[in-house]
Amino acid sequence: MDEAKNAMNGNVEMRKADLSEVGKRIEDVARERPSHKEVLGFLKEVVEEQYSMKPEIETPPVLVDKALIQKKAAEGFPLVNKGDLKLDMVSAAILFKGLCKVLKRNKKVSEDVDKLEQLISSKDVDLEELFQKTAAGNGEYIASQSDKLGLKAEILSFLAENSLRPIFEAYAHELQGHVDQEHWWRAYCPICGSEPVMAELVDKEKKRFLICSCCGYAWRFKRTQCPFCENEERKKFKFFFGDKEQKAWRVETCQKCKKYIKTVDTGELDGQFIPLVEDVGTLYLDVIAKKEGYTREVHPLGLNLADL
């Protein structure tokens, strides 16, 4: 695939901000919104744990049949099936334990995390099985295990998903050159098939990109189409800004399915665009959207941070 073609689409497919850049952006957003300081501090600890493992992660090369790429894309199939990817179980397990320590500092969930750590020590929780089921998108497994063990499902899901996130990001970085942005206009990631967590508007043309909730890849999408129900009736779309003075962040809603997606206009943003930081740093928009009767398909970090 001609990587120059991808660059023409905004050069946003995979951003690789280093930890110092992420930390600086978190500090900047926390100064702008003091009410978000605590949750941004939590995000910083999570990101630090993930970045500490990135150099250790091993992802074997993915064999992609170039002759089938266009055929798969035309039929709506992503490049890979997440459940078929080889996972670095050692790195994921180490990160899982680190994230447990971070999560335990929150008194609302510390008892659940303590209990989970005990269950892992007693072999009542099989981490490798948990990672495999999570990668395969088996939500029923998470729900049944949580019920069986007496744990909150969102806690188990958060820990598993964020232990795997750096692995999927590494695979996406390897595979991004195989995506033809001009021929993939679907509402799910062309690399791993996951749903978008947020959107961004790029350049003077305000090209719209969706950002994958799993691997972080960004792909082109229509400006006037709902990424959840694919509605294209203009009169069914509404959007609002959280602050009249700030035009960088907006909430785009669909009256048909009553879902919303947060969108960042990078041309209006004062600072480096790091999707996860912008998402967590605008939780006030999620609160407003919820009050207006809209629901969110995917939350940042896979956890409803507004409830922490």
pLDDT score at 306: 61
| The pLDDT of residue 13 is above 70 | no
Q: What separation in angstroms does the CA of 228 have from each of 12, 296, 297?
A: 22, 10, 8
Instruction: Indicate whether 293 belongs to any domain.
Output: yes
- Same domain, yes or no, for 170 and 186? no
Instruction: Indicate whether 279 belongs to any domain.
Output: yes
Distance CA 141, CA 288 (A): 32
Give pLDDT tens digits for 226-242: 999 999 999 999 999 87
Give pLDDT tens digits for 249-270: 999 999 999 999 999 999 998 8
Q: Which of 147, 178, 209 marks a domain boundary?
A: 178
- Written in H, E and C, the secondary structure of 244-265 is CCECCEEEEEECCCCEEEEEEE
| The pLDDT of residue 91 is above 90 | yes
pLDDT score at 42: 95
| The pLDDT of residue 11 is above 70 | no
The separation between CA 31 and the C-alpha centre of its own chain, rounded to angstroms, equals: 24
The separation between CA 248 and the C-alpha centre of its own chain, rounded to angstroms, equals: 20
- Same domain, yes or no, for 49 and 136? yes
- Written in H, E and C, the secondary structure of 37-88 is HHHHHHHHHHHHHHHHHHHHCCCCCCCCCHHHHHHHHHCCCCCCCHHHCCCC
Q: Which of 178, 208, 238 marks a domain boundary?
A: 178
- Same domain, yes or no, for 194 and 262? yes
Give pLDDT tens digits for 121-177: 999 999 999 999 999 999 899 999 999 999 999 999 999 999 999 999 999 999 999
Q: Mean pLDDT across the stretch 47-63?
A: 95
- Same domain, yes or no, for 115 and 219? no
| The pLDDT of residue 207 is above 90 | yes
pLDDT band at 12 (very low <50, low <70, confident <90, very high): low
pLDDT score at 223: 93
Give pLDDT tens digits for 69-84: 888 888 999 999 999 9
45 vs 69 pLDDT, higher one:
45
pLDDT score at 10: 41
pLDDT band at 247 (very low <50, low <70, confident <90, very high): confident
> What percent of the chain has pLDDT above 70?
93
Q: Which of 158, 178, 198 marks a domain boundary?
A: 178
Residue-averaged pLDDT of the chain: 91
- Same domain, yes or no, for 169 and 284? no
Q: Mean pLDDT across the stretch 4-32?
A: 74
- Same domain, yes or no, for 238 and 143? no
Task: Tell me how many domains the chain contains.
Answer: 2
Instruction: Indicate whether 49 belongs to any domain.
Output: yes
Instruction: Indicate whether 291 belongs to any domain.
Output: yes
pLDDT score at 185: 93
pLDDT band at 304 (very low <50, low <70, confident <90, very high): confident
Domain span holding position 154: 18-178
Instruction: Indicate whether 7 belongs to any domain.
Output: no
